[in-house]
Chains A and B, each alone.
Chain A
Amino acid sequence: NAGVTQTPKFRILKIGQSMTLQCTQDMNHNYMYWYRQDPGMGLKLIYYSVGAGITDKGEVPNGYNVSRSTTEDFPLRLELAAPSQTSVYFCASSPNWETQYFGPGTRLLVL
């Protein structure tokens, strides 16, 4: 059982470049989330989805976009990378409102 998988594990981007962080879950969860964690800080919600075709902004959505065409996949798009987006990104899924299952994270460095 793979759970929540994220690719890539690590990426270096130049300022202005774009990329997509991939997230897939095989637990048939309706709810999916993207967080970022900056050093010494807690996780901040970027975007979330309550089901295929439905997405909504979290606390820090600026500079990011998401889509949810299937239950399994919830990619996060960075259009114009900026140094402030250097962070560790975590994807999570949840079957209900009680708990979330996290992927291993993607470490992004923007130079």
Chain B
Amino acid sequence: DQQVKQNSPSLSVQEGRISILNCDYTNSMFDYFLWYKKYPAEGPTFLISISSIKDKNEDGRFTVFLNKSAKHLSLHIVPSQPGDSAVYFCAANQGAQKLVFGQGTRLTINP
């Protein structure tokens, strides 16, 4: 039972363009959502988060949008840079600081 789903295993975007990564969830009790970025042979690093009481959070080139009615969130990266090539995980907090992770999307930025 996959409560957090990232249906696109991979995404390829040209440098300078917008990257949009998507995530869907099924549990309406999730109250906080996070995006993590992971390079090969490293642990995930926190990127950006959003509370369920908001619908948008922005940090520099990164913006996360939350659509609660659709149980959908997305991460926008603009402009995309080669260093953004990584695997991106969305995660949801279900209380007691326990995170539920999606399967990840591998983003490749092409020069």
Contacts and interface: CB of A to CB of B under 8 A. Distances in A.
Contacts of B42: 104-105
Interface string A1-45: 000100000000000000000000000000100010000111111
Given A40-B9, A90-B44, A45 B98 contact: yes
Nearest to B43: A102
Contact of A105 (B32, B34, B43): B43
Contact of A31 (B9, B32, B34, B97): B97
A100 B45 CA distance: 8
Contacts of B100: 45
B101 interface: yes
Which bracket fits the contact residues of B?
20 to 34
A72 to B, nearest CB: 17
B4 A42 contact: yes
A60 to B, nearest CB: 12
B85 interface: no
Interface string B38-57: 00011111100100000000
Nearest to B48: A99
A96 B97 CA distance: 8
B20 interface: no
A50 to B, nearest CB: 7
B75 to A, nearest CB: 15
B89 A43 contact: yes
Interface of B: 4, 6, 9, 32, 34, 36, 41-46, 49, 89, 93, 96-104
Interface of A: 4, 31, 35, 40-45, 48, 50, 56, 58, 90, 92, 94, 96-105
